Amino acid sequence: MIKLIGLKRIVVLVFLVALNLMALGVYLFSVGPMLDGVQSQKDALSGAISGLHGRIAGVKADTAYMQENISKYTALQAEGFFLPENRFTVKDAMEKLRVAAGISNFAYSVGNVKDIPNKDAGAVHYKLIDSAIGVDHIVSPLDANIYLLVQDIDRSFPAFVRLQSMQIHRSRPVDAQSLKAIANGQPVSFVDATLAFEWIAMVPDKPASPAAAGGFRGQ
Amino acid sequence: MVGGEGVTLFGPTVRGIEREAALSWEMPDFGRQLAEALSAGSRDPVLVLFDGADQTYRKEERIPKLSPFDRARYIKRKLDQAFPSYPVRASVLVRPPKESPFYLFVALPETDRLDGIAGDMLEAGVPIAGFGLLPAESVGLVKALADKTFDRTGKPSRWAVLISQHETGGLRQVVVRNGSLALTRITPTSEAGAFGPGWAEEVVREFKATLTYIARFGYTAEEGLDVMVVCSKVEKQFFSDKSLPVTNFRCLTPSEALAAIGARAVSLGETNFGDAVHAAWAGRKGALSVPVVVPSIQRIMVPRKASQVMAAVLALSLAGMGAFIASQYSDYLSVKSDIGGLRSQRDYLNGEYARDAKVFDAFPVKPDVLRKILAVRKTVEASSIDIAPTLNLLRASLASDIQLSDLSFTHDASSVLEGGDNGLFGKKKSEDRGTVKIDFKFDITGGLTLEQKVARADGLVKILQQKFPGYRVDIVHQFGNVSSTGSFSGEAGKAQNAQGPGGAGADEAAFEMTGPPL
């Protein structure tokens, strides 16, 4: 076979095969892995940079949102929306209301704190709490005073108060007897009214202290 | 070139074809000398051009229409039938212009001399280009020389003959008709020698014999016959074109013939031999017209050709891989330099993120918490309404003679306070602000009759429905507990006390209104 093909030719062939194998080896064991390595590094860096761009954009967007809306949060904080409905504040608030509405007297009650299921609050581990406020035995000459009380109650209470129901009943006619009693300085009420409110706040979702959560009555 | 008397070796040089050796069969160490001559020459592949006497040609015209596979088997069978005792055979399809195609069969015995030459080429280690028969390979040479030598403006001759004396032995005549081989003859060198007037007479004599042969193949003077003789300048003077009954006659020196086909020869001198012309023509062809397979030569040619091809493939592969590796390395360097820049960019972005995060972390709450808190606040606010517009509208809807005795206002917002994303497609129920229910009792002053009060009450329903769109207005209790179209009972004969306070007409009507907050 060597003579048939020629020794020189065989040597050349073997040399070419060896060179080819060497070239293949250089690629497979050196250049290829090196290129794969730096390419992996580059891909990792590119991925990290992409991620950072995303995170920076997210942080910037969140920061812009916060800067735009944090004042609303602090306002809610200031008005006591996150406070746990301390019953000891109710007395002062009711007195202020009475005076501002021009009402002589009324009785009020505050019910037990109840939880109101709310998905948004629950999503951030907060809950809505609600205390029912009842106002009755209102001694008021006119129904206009009662409307004033209804309008003012949200401003006077911490957190948030909403009207649930209002019943007004004309209890006595405007007659000579009533007018005489008024002239004598006696408190005369021409209307009876019963008001029901809901006092709502948003507090962290953990047990509140019993003193702040119970119901009570006052005048 | 291999002939009856020996072998002549021609090799290519920059300046043209060169006669490198001429060896007689009678030489005692012919084989060694041939091997040495082959080794000493250029390393180009060797083409063996056979010019011996023992080559046979046959024309096969009746070829049926067959598929290519069947045709090959048919031809092989025909070759076996035509040349049963000739082991070396070949065929070629010839398509002369304006004539039916035919097969040219060639055959020659595998002589010891050819085996010897194969052995010498094996010793020399030279690559082998192939084995061909001089007459079959020189058909194109005859036509090319005739076209170049003679005027073709008139009616061209259909027949052409090239006559040349060969150093390898013999006077070769190649007769071509319409561009295809018609006849070939080789005449051994006579006692007159290979040059001189005696040789010229020999040429004329042998040509005249050839004329009788081709006359049998249909040659007539009308068809035209061009004759070219390759000879030296000295021998030219011995020929007279008038002595031959041909259309055109010309003597060409080997140099003139080579020039006519665009070739050159080195150190040719004033030779009378035409070997160089045939060698130059065959050597320039890309492929043999009739490649002949001689087993002993084929045994050497194929592996050497294969090794050549393999070497070329490996060299190409090496070049390709080299280029690929270079490109990959270049990519590596480029990516590596990119990495530096990317690292700097990443570090910069990390710094920027740290700064932004510091600002962000200073806030008392996280954005998602704030979003939810504000959503809750919005929900809670939606649960509350200002009753003043509703009461004002109610007051405006009631006439001045209507005196309210009871008023009840209820706002049910329990569904509103649940909040959150609602609905399959995330549509919020933010438009839902609960339900308002207003109940009121009233009397109408002015001393109206019951019937009038009932009518007023019915009319008030319509007014309230107009003023409070979307509200349902119902009369819970009509004056006198009657309606203008409903059931009614009473007594006849008793005093009608429907008018004035305290009478039967002084009772109240009770209304109920239900609808969304205004």
DSSP labels, A84-137: ---GGGHHHHHHHHHHHHT-SEEEEEE---EEE--HHHHHTTEEEEEEEEEEEE
pTM of the full structure: 0.55
Let me know: does A122 contact A88? Beta carbons within 8 Å: no
CA of B401 to nearest chain A CA: how many angstroms apart?
A: 16
In chain B, the residue whose alpha carbon lies closest to the alpha carbon of A63 is B360
Of the partner residues A42, A118, A123, the one whose CB lies closest to the CB of residue B342: A42
Collapsed DSSP state (helix, strand, coil) of residue B14? coil
CB B132 within 8 A of CB B288: yes
Q: Say how far apart CA B142 and CA B257 lie, in whole Å.
A: 10
Report which of residues A15 and B13 the model is more confident about: A15
- Residue A25: pLDDT band (50, 70, 90) is very high
For chain B, helix (H) and strand (E) counts, in that order, are 13, 17
Distance CA A52, CA A41 (A): 16
> Are the C-beta atoms of residues B404 and B441 closer than 8 Å to each other?
yes
Q: C-alpha angle with apex B234: B229 to B240, nearest 5 degrees?
A: 55
Beta-sheet pairing, B225-230 with B159-165:
parallel
Predicted pLDDT of residue A2: 77
- Nearest-by-CA chain A residue for B412: A164
pLDDT for res B501: 38
**For all residues of chain A together, what is the average pLDDT?**
85
Q: Which two tokens stand for residue A21?
A: 């194998």
Q: Reply yes or no on domain B6-54+111-293 having CATH 2.40.30.60.
A: no
Q: Strand ranges (DSSP E) for B253-357? A: 265-266
Q: What are the helix (H) ranges across B398-509?
A: 450-467
**CB-CB neighbors (< 8 A) of A52 in chain B:** 346, 349-350, 352-353
Query: Concatenated DSSP letters for B192-257?
Result: T-SSSHHHHHHHHHHHHHHHHHHHHTT--GGG-EEEEEE--HHHHTT--GGGS-SSEEEEE-HHHH
pLDDT value for B484: 53
Nearest CA in chain B to A11: B311
B349–A52 CB contact, under 8 Å: yes
Cα angle B503, B508, B510; round to 5: 160
Name which of A3, A7, A9, A195 to mutate to probe chain B: the one with the most chain B Cβ atoms within 10 A of its Cβ.
A9
- Interface-testing mutation among A10, A72, A124, A197, with chain B (most B C-beta atoms within 10 A): A124
Which of B311, B357, B377 has the CB atom closest to A13's CB atom? B311
Of A140-154, A160-174, B216-230, B487-501, least confident by mean pLDDT is B487-501
User: What is the C-alpha to C-alpha distance for residues B184 and B52, in angstroms, rounded to an integer?
Assistant: 11
Residue showing tokens 């039967």: B504
In this structure, which amino acid lies at residue B12?
A: P
Residues of A numbered 19-48 whose beta carbons fall under 8 angstroms of chain B's beta carbons: which are they? 19-20, 23-24, 26-27, 31-32, 34-35, 38-39, 41-42, 45-46, 48
Q: Answer whether B458's CB lies under 8 Å from B486's CB.
A: no
A200 Cβ under 8 Å from any chain B Cβ? yes
Mutation for testing the B interface, residue in A30, A36, A45, A82 having most B CBs under 10 Å: A45
Nearest CA distance, B9 vs chain A (angstrom): 21
Would you state the pLDDT for residue B418? 64
Angstrom distance (rounded) from CA B196 to CA B235: 6
What are the chain B neighbours of A49 within 8 Å (beta carbons)? 342, 345-346, 349
Q: Which two tokens stand for residue A126?
A: 């907060």
Contacting residues of B for A39, CB less than 8 Å apart: 335
Break chain A into its structural domains and give their ranges.
2-75, 87-218
Q: Which of B325, B371, B376 sits opposite A128 (nearest CB)?
A: B376
User: In Å, how far are A109, A152, B64, B141 from A135, measured between CA atoms?
Assistant: 7, 14, 123, 131
Helices (H), B83-225: 112-124, 134-137, 139-149, 197-216
Say if the Cβ atoms of B372 and A120 lie within 8 Å. Answer: yes
CB-based burial label for B462 (10 Å; 0-12, 13-18, 19+): exposed
CA–CA gap between residue B279 and residue B204 (Å, rounded): 24
Looking at the partner chain, which of B125, B371, B419 has a beta carbon nearest the beta carbon of A6? B125
- In angstroms, the separation between the Cα of residue B345 and the nearest Cα of chain A is 7
pLDDT reported for residue B489: 64
Interface test with B, best of A149, A163, A171, A203 (most B CBs within 10 A): A163
Partners of A42 on chain B (C-beta within 8 Å) are 335, 338-339, 342
Within 87-146 of B, beta carbons closer than 8 Å to A belong to 122, 125
Chain A positions in Cβ-Cβ contact with residue B419 (cut-off 8 Å): 118-121
Quick one: tokens of B252?
């060409």
Query: Inter-chain contact B384–A34, Cβ cutoff 8 Å?
Result: no
The predicted structure's pLDDT at residue A41 = 95
Residue-wise pLDDT tens digits, A87-128: 777 888 888 888 888 888 888 898 888 888 888 888 888 888
Task: Categorize the per-residue pLDDT at A34 as very low, low, confident or very high, splitting at 50, 70 and 90.
Answer: very high
CA distances from A126 to A32, A100, A115, A206, B371 (A): 57, 34, 11, 8, 13
pLDDT tens for the 518 residues of chain B, in order: 999 889 999 988 888 888 888 999 998 899 999 999 998 877 788 999 999 888 888 888 877 788 888 888 888 888 888 888 888 888 888 887 777 888 888 888 767 888 888 889 888 888 889 999 999 999 999 999 999 998 877 788 899 999 999 998 899 999 999 888 999 999 988 887 888 888 999 999 999 999 999 998 888 888 899 999 999 988 888 887 667 888 889 999 999 999 999 988 887 778 889 999 999 999 988 889 988 888 888 888 888 888 889 999 999 999 999 999 999 999 999 999 999 999 999 999 999 999 999 988 888 888 988 999 999 888 888 888 888 888 889 989 998 889 888 899 999 887 777 655 444 444 445 567 888 999 999 988 888 888 888 899 999 999 999 999 999 999 998 888 775 566 666 666 655 444 433 333 447 899 999 998 88
Helix (H) or strand (E) holding A192: strand A191-204
List, in sequence order, every residue forming a beta bridge with B23; answer none if it has no partner.
Answer: B7
- Is the Cβ of A9 closer than 8 Å to some Cβ of chain B? yes
Query: So what's the pLDDT on residue B428?
Result: 46
pLDDT score recorded for residue A219: 65
